[in-house]
Structure 1
Amino acid sequence: MLRNKEIRRLTLVFAAITAGALGAGFALTPLAGLLILIFAIALGVAFGCFTHTRYRRLAELADQIDGVLHYDDPLVLTEMEEGELSILKCEIAKMTQRIHEQNDALQKEKSHLAESLADIAHQLRTPLTSATLILSLLKQDPEAPRRRALLRESEALFAQMDFLITSLLKLSRLEAGIVPFQNQPTDLSDLIHTALQPLRIPMELHDITLKLHIPQGAQLQGDAAWLSEALENLLKNGITSAGDHGTLTIIGEDTPLFTRITIHDSGPGFKPEEIPHLFDRFYQGEAASATGYGIGLALCYSIITRQGGRIIAKNHPRGGALFILHFPKPAPLSDESLTGVSPGCQSTPL
């Protein structure tokens, strides 16, 4: 205890006061001096016991903190009566709990990163192996028609790898939160037509009927370029699901509180066990196409949620897959925020 500077100072002050009181007491009568001495000894013993108990509890708390730091032991909350030490112990317990939660989250992120790297390696290995095989065949100098076919196949494989790497880079940037979104009013009709433009020819080839119901003048708040990419991925998914001679329906809804986009295809829909995993990276359902990588829906989810929107996937009651995109409208500025004067105040002209 005496290693503490404050305790040493308090002990010296107490000794000085006791000595002065004893001198004055014995100067008056020996009995007064004896009473002062007994009182000083009792007070010193009580202070010593109290301080010793306090230091013992601090030592126990320090041992528990050391166990948390070095041996991952839980911090046991005992003797929670009122007092500064109990408040300190409670705050430390909350801090250690927060550290444990963050450590668990980091472990999950680490595991997720390892799984993602394994998935990336697996996805890239297939086209790379095929491209290597094609190059070895080309070295054998096949005939011109066969050589042209091999070159076309290798170009397709490299295009797949380029798409995979580009999509992964976009998804990584989005998940890292380093994409600067442009938060601007965007016309809903223009956004949907921009997303549909690259898909017109595939829809014609597969004889897919498009039904559009977009209210005139509907708008949403966000980055038009990224949102059109998310919609394009969702529409690609709908075209694949609908198949030949299918139907793709896009419905927009505009209210003062939100803007909603509904995409419904006439395909078989989702299996119930698939729905919770649809937006997971690299997830491919049983009905996934051979050229799919399981990145498109994960990219859509990240783009939409990073801009304050929500996306829900489910089966339509009449059959087919249904995607619902929900974008809240920004709160309108009040007269008070525009003028800087509260409604109850009046400005006086100068």
Structure 2
Amino acid sequence: MEIMIFIIFFVLVFIATFALWKYIHLKHDVYEYTEKLDTAINYMLKNEELKTSPYEKDDLWGKIYDRLVRLSYLYTHKNLEISEEKDKLKELVSDISHQTKTPIANIKLYLEMMADETDFDRNQEYLKKMNGQVDKLDFLLQSMVKMSRLETGTIKIQKQNAPLTDTLAMAISNVVIKAEKKNIKIDVQYDERLELNHDKKWTTEAIFNILDNAVKYTNDGGNIHIVVCRQELFTKISIEDTGKGIAPERQATIFTRFYRELEVHDTDGIGIGLYLARKIITLQNGYIEVQSQVGQGSTFMIYLPNQD
């Protein structure tokens, strides 16, 4: 009987000891887990990305830490994207303010001059100049809307297999009048049977923007030569002009939003056409190259993929 009591007592003591040891060990694990979690959260609050390799054990903390690492990556990069978007927005607002400042100031000036002017013919001249400034503002706002809708994905590129002839014809028709006024000859070399999977509307816009620049910066009596050829991977649309040309050090910046060279500031334009052209072609998995020398004209080459 005494032996039985002793055994039971011994078992109870063992169970109590084991329970105490388990409690202490569990308490230690909880404290350690809490400290690790607190450290990880503090890292994330400081916008510091968690390291990916210090915990290799396949335990609860290892699993939680792996998820925290992924969350930290998303959190850090999302904050970076937000910061970049804010910078872009600030830059865009600054650009818009700069571009609209001059025409608005001119309109106000013409209105003030008209208020003091009694001569009808002079007032008609002021009205004509004001109308030109309004047209410039209208063109700027339309371009900004196009750019915004493309960049934000409001408008999706909708590609379909269609003759490239129609796209070229629409783009050329929009610059023919300007070209005729400057006696600029436009000739095209292409295969009428050529079809391409592309967004007809936006590709027309891209080609037009390049052609518009070619007409704008080519002197009277110049030439614009368009050649379309199908290569192994891409269809190439080459637009060559006999204009003023572009210095090599500036060729990387001409596709920047609102970029205009100093020599052409007196020429109509806001410096957004080439930016839009590259954006449109890039969204179709294509690209644009330029070759040019000052005084010897420029060649813009649009490459659109044959298959996507």
Structure 2: how far apart are the matches of 1:161 and 1:151?
A: 15
Aligned: 1:324 with 2:276: no
* 1:80 has 2:55 as partner: yes
Contact 1:257 1:328 in 2 (8 A): yes
Q: Which of 155, 162, 166 does residue 131 from structure 2 map onto? A: 155
**Which has the higher relative contact order, 1 or 2, with Cα contacts under 8 A spaced 6 or more apart?**
2
Q: Is the 8 A contact 2:162 2:196 kept in 1?
A: yes
Distance 1:277 1:90, change over 3 A: farther
Q: Does residue 36 of structure 1 match 2:17? A: no
The offset of 1:147, in angstroms, is 1.8
Q: Specify the code of the residue in structure 2 equivalent to 1:234.
A: I
Q: Distance in 2 between matches of 1:323 and 1:113?
A: 30
- Count of residue pairs the alignment pairs up: 305
Q: Structure 1 residue 255: deviation in Å?
A: 4.9
For 1:114, which of 79, 90, 114 is the aligned residue? 90
Paired with 1:216 and 1:231, the residues of 2 have a C-alpha distance of 17
In structure 2, distance between residues paired with 1:272 and 1:39: 86
Rounded Cα–Cα distance in structure 2 between residues aligned with 1:323 and 1:61: 58
Shift in Å at residue 273 of structure 1?
Answer: 3.8
* Paired residues for 1:199-218 under 5 Å: 199-218=175-194
- C-alpha deviations, 1:219-242, integer Å up to 9, x for none? 222332222122111111122333
Aligned-partner Cα distance in 1 for 2:47–2:289: 41
Does residue 298 of structure 2 align to residue 310 of structure 1? no
Instruction: For residues 237-294 of structure 1, give each alpha carbon's deviation from its aligned partner in whole angstroms, at most 9, with x where no partner exists.
Output: 1223333343322221225743221222233443344333332221223344432211
Separation (CA, whole Å) in 1 of partners of 2:185 and 2:25: 85
After superposition, the Cα gap between the structure-2 partners of 1:34 and 1:302, relative to the gap in structure 1 and judged at 3 Å, is same
Q: Which moved more, 1:313-322 or 1:278-287?
A: 313-322
- Superposed CA offset, 1:129-148 (max 9, x none): 11111111111233232222
Query: Which whole-Å CA distance do the structure 1 matches of 2:247 and 2:13 have between them?
Result: 86
Cα RMSD (Å): 2.8
Gaps of 5+ in 1: 1-25, 332-350
Counterpart-to-counterpart distance in 2, 1:287 and 1:224: 34
CA distance in 1, matches of 2:178, 2:103: 24
Cα shift readout 1:153-190 (whole Å, capped 9, x = no counterpart)? 11111111111111111111111211254432221122
Q: Deviations over 1:84-130 (max 9, x none)?
A: 31232133123212211111111111111111112111211111111
Amino acid at match of 2:70: K
Partner in structure 2 of residue 237 of structure 1: 213
Shift in Å, 1:38: 5.5
User: Does the 8 Å contact 1:199/1:236 carry over to 2?
Assistant: yes
1:293 has 2:270 as partner: yes
Please state whether the residue corresponding to 1:277 is helix, strand or coil.
coil
SS of equivalent to 2:205: helix
Residue 336 (structure 1) aligns with: none
Match of 2:114 in 1: 138
- Alpha carbons 2:241, 2:298 under 8 Å: kept: yes
- Letter in structure 2 aligned against 1:167: S
Question: In the alignment, which residue of structure 1 is the partner of 2:31?
Answer: 56
| Whole-angstrom CA distance in 1 between matches of 2:161 and 2:2 | 92
* Among 30, 33, 42, the residue aligned to 1:67: 42
SS of equivalent residue, structure 2 residue 155: coil
Aligned partner of 2:196 in structure 1 is 220
The share of aligned pairs that are identical, in percent, is 25
1:188 paired residue among 156, 159, 164: 164
Counterpart AA for 2:299: L
8 A contact 1:313–1:321 mirrored in 2: no
Normalising by structure 2, report the TM-score: 0.86
What is the TM-score normalised by the length of structure 1?
0.76
- Aligned equivalents of 1:138, 1:127: Cα separation in 2: 16
Contact between 2:224 and 2:242, CA under 8 Å: does it hold in 1? yes
- What amino acid maps onto 1:59 in structure 2? T
Distance 1:151 1:268 in 2: 33
| Cα distance in 2, alignment partners of residues 327 and 78 from structure 1 | 43
Cα contact 1:79–1:86 (8 A) shared by 2 = no
Between 224-233 and 311-320, the greater mean CA deviation after superposition: 311-320
Distance 1:125 1:255 in 2: 46
Q: Aligned to 1:276, what secondary structure does the other structure show?
A: coil
Amino acid at match of 1:328: P
* Cα contact 1:242–1:267 (8 A) shared by 2: yes
